[in-house]
Structure 1
Amino acid sequence: MKPKKRTTIYDIAEKLNLTASSVSRALNNSSNVNEDTKKLILKTAAEMNYKRNVLASNLRKGESKTIGVVVPRINQNFFSNVIAGIEEMTYAKNFNLIICQSNESHEKEIKCVNALINQHVDCIIISVAAEGNDYTHLKNVIDHGIQLIQFDRVVEDIDTLKIINDNELATLEAITHLITEGYKRIALLEGPQNLDIFKQRKTGYLKALAQHNLPIVEELIIENAWTKELGAEATRKLLSLPEPPDAIFASTSDFSALGVLEVATSMNFKVPGELGILGYANEPFTELTSPSITTIDQFTHHMGKTIATLYFQETQTKDTTIVPRTISIKPKLIIRASTSKSQVI
């Protein structure tokens, strides 16, 4: 069935033999329209099922009341919770939210950003994909006069408001916890080093080893093991070494840590007695595995609310330019059974 044509102010004007400008003024409750005429226009508009084009109206005022969000993956707890936090605040301000995912593809990220620019959004909030090192498309956002806010995965040399976690400190505390529990040969599953968050986590790992006089063993550092499958593959390699690690820190994600746990279980390594496992992000499943997985909570919903709140606070001033700066949120280590070696009897 063919959808009915949307009623416009021109349709109402034609039916009432009035000008479109008169109809527009009446619908906007202008005092320059006779009250009887205004009532007639409003009655006719309701009968014709007229719906105001809010986007067009807002654009005429120089804003769209729409914010775009670009994330690597919507179905990851971290990003979905950030989006939920943003939405809570934008809904309260009568702003619309458009959500796009890059699927870790640089090419798709560019398409998402360009689509949002073409929709005249007021702001684009982004966590960049793992692929790519050319961020011309982000500079293009700024060139179009659209606010750009980066979170979690950010591009340092683009001056915008950035909301991040203190990844280095969180990792330092996590590795210190493992060492305190008696683990000495700790492996690191690291993410793509072109992303600052993974570089910072590696720095925290190296600092913790240095502070406790433990050697850096290159064969215990596995690159790009940041999915469940890659985490499992890395674990098979690590646990097959002549001298395997006694703990594995999946600094990339809890999904990687889940891959570690599954392989360790299949290879009959006792967790946490023979192998400690530590993840990152506090995905809901980490409480449900056996044993439950120690992880790092990034306060994602709070991060989302912080992002939106800062946007609204700063754009309510006369100068609507957001001051480039970095806001850091301290994550929290959530200790569970997978690293509680001292509790094993």
Structure 2
Amino acid sequence: MKQPKRATIYDIAKKLNLNPSSVSRALNHSRNISTATRELILKTAEELNYKANSMASNLRKGHNRTIGVVVPRINQNFFANVIAGIEEITYQQGYNLIICQSNELAAREIKCINTLVNQDVSCIIISVSADFESDDHLKNIKEQGISLIQFDRVADELDTFKVTNDNESASREAVEHLIAEGYKRIALLEGPQNLNIFRQRKAGYLKALRKNGMPVIPELIVENAWTKDLGAIATRKLLGLPNPPDAIFASTSDFAALGVLEVANEMNISVPRDLGICGYSNESFTEITTPMITTIDQHSTLMGKTIAQLYFQELDSVTNGRKDKVVNIQPELIIRKSTLKSKI
């Protein structure tokens, strides 16, 4: 069935025998038109079921009230909460969001960016994908005159606003907690080292060990164990060692920590008595596992609000050129039963 033609200001003007510019002024509540004419135009617009084309209007004004967000995975609690935080602020400002998912693929991330650029969004907010290598597509955003804000996983060298966590100190605190609970051989599940956040978390792990006079054992560090399945594979490898770890810090994600817990249960290993488990991100399921999983809360909703506020502050001419381009949000260690060995 053919869709009815959408009414335009030209249809209203033709019906009333007025200039389109007069109709436009009335619809935009300009004072440069008589009250009687404005009321007639508004009444006719209602009769014709006229709807303003906000995108066209924004383009004419040189500004699109739409912001693009690119995240690795929408179905992770951390990214979902960041988006919710962004949306809470942008909604108050009358902005819309276009949300894209890279699925941890650089090629898909580039396509997302190109789509958003072609949509002429006013700002792009991004956390880069796992196989991120080049920042050329991010530089293109700035070259197109579009604002760019990075969060969580960022290209360090690129001069943009960045909203991050203090990953290193959070990881150090988590490992020091495990040490305080009496764990002696603490393994690390690390993420792709091309991403800044995983390098920082590894640095925190190493600092905690060295600060407490514990050796760094290479066989207890497993690379790229950052999903549930990879976490499970890494755990079987670690627990199969002649001298296995008595704690595993899944610095990559709570999903990896869940993989650790499932393998421990399969092998009848008592948690936390024989194996301590700590994850990262405070996914909702960490509160309903048995035992509940110790994790690190990144205050993701606050991060999202902070990101959006940065953009609107930048729009304000009073704060243009602000120098503090990196905002660091302190994560919080949430201690639960999976690491409380001393309480048994």
TM-score by length of 2: 0.97
The aligned runs of 1:10-29 (5 Å cut-off) are: 10-29=10-29
Cα gap change, 1:320 to 1:52, in 2 (>3 Å): farther
Q: CA deviation at 1:245?
A: 0.6
Q: In the TM superposition, what whole-angstrom CA distance separates every residue of 1:207-265 from its partner, at most 9, and x where no partner exists?
A: 11111111111111111000000000111111111111100010000000000000011
Q: For this pair of structures, how many residues does the alignment match?
A: 344
C-alpha distance in structure 1 between counterparts of 2:22 and 2:315, whole Å: 33
Q: % of aligned pairs identical?
A: 66
| 1:188 equivalent in alignment to 2:188 | yes
Unaligned ranges ≥5, structure 2: none
1:315–1:321 Cα contact (<8 Å) kept:
no
Task: Output the CA distance in 2 between the equivalents of 1:172 and 1:101.
Answer: 31
* Distance in 2 between residues matched to 1:172 and 1:186, nearest whole Å: 12
Q: Distance in 2 between matches of 1:302 and 1:310?
A: 12
Residue range with higher mean Cα deviation, 36-45 or 145-154: 36-45
The 1:255/1:164 distance shift into structure 2, 3 A limit, reads same
Does the 8 Å contact 1:148/1:161 carry over to 2?
yes
Tell me how far 1:74 sits from its aligned partner.
Answer: 0.8
Local SS of the residue matching 1:110 = helix
Aligned-partner Cα distance in 2 for 1:122–1:254: 34
Match of 2:78 in 1: 78
The answer on whether the counterparts of 1:161 and 1:322 sit within 8 Å (CA) in structure 2 is: no
Residue ranges of structure 1 left out of the alignment (5+ in a row): none
Query: What's the counterpart of residue 248 of structure 2?
Result: 248
Q: Tell me, in whole angstroms, the C-alpha distance in 2 between the residues paired with 1:67 and 1:40.
A: 36
* Secondary structure of the structure 1 residue equivalent to 2:97: strand
Counterparts in 2 of 1:168-179, with a 5 A limit?
168-179=168-179
- CA shift, 1:117, in A, is 1.2
Does the aligned pair in 1 maintain the 2:189–2:250 contact within 8 Å?
Answer: yes
Most deviating of 39-48 and 197-206: 39-48
Q: Matched residues in 1 for 2:312 and 2:286: separation? A: 34
SS of 1:78's partner is helix
Matched, 1:286 2:286: yes
The residue number in structure 2 matching 1:202 is 202
- Paired residue for 2:57? 57
The CA distance in 2 between the partners of 1:215 and 1:319, in whole Å, is: 48
| Matched AA of 1:32 | N
d(CA) in 2 for partners of 1:322 and 1:123?
17
SS at match of 1:42: helix
Map 1:287-326 to 2 at 5 A.
Answer: 287-317=287-317, 320=320, 323=323, 325-326=325-326
Question: Partner of 2:124 in structure 1?
Answer: 124
Aligned amino acid, residue 253 of structure 1: S
Alignment of 1:5-154 (within 5 A): 5-154=5-154
What is the CA RMSD across the aligned residues, in angstroms?
Answer: 1.4
Instruction: Please give the secondary structure, in 1, of the residue aligned with 2:134.
Output: coil
- How far apart, in 2, do the equivalents of 1:229 and 1:269 lie? 18
Query: Match for 2:262: what amino acid?
Result: E
CA contact 2:313–2:319 (8 Å) conserved in 1:
no
Retained in 1: the 8 A contact 2:122–2:147?
A: yes
Deviates more, 1:235-244 or 1:12-21: 12-21
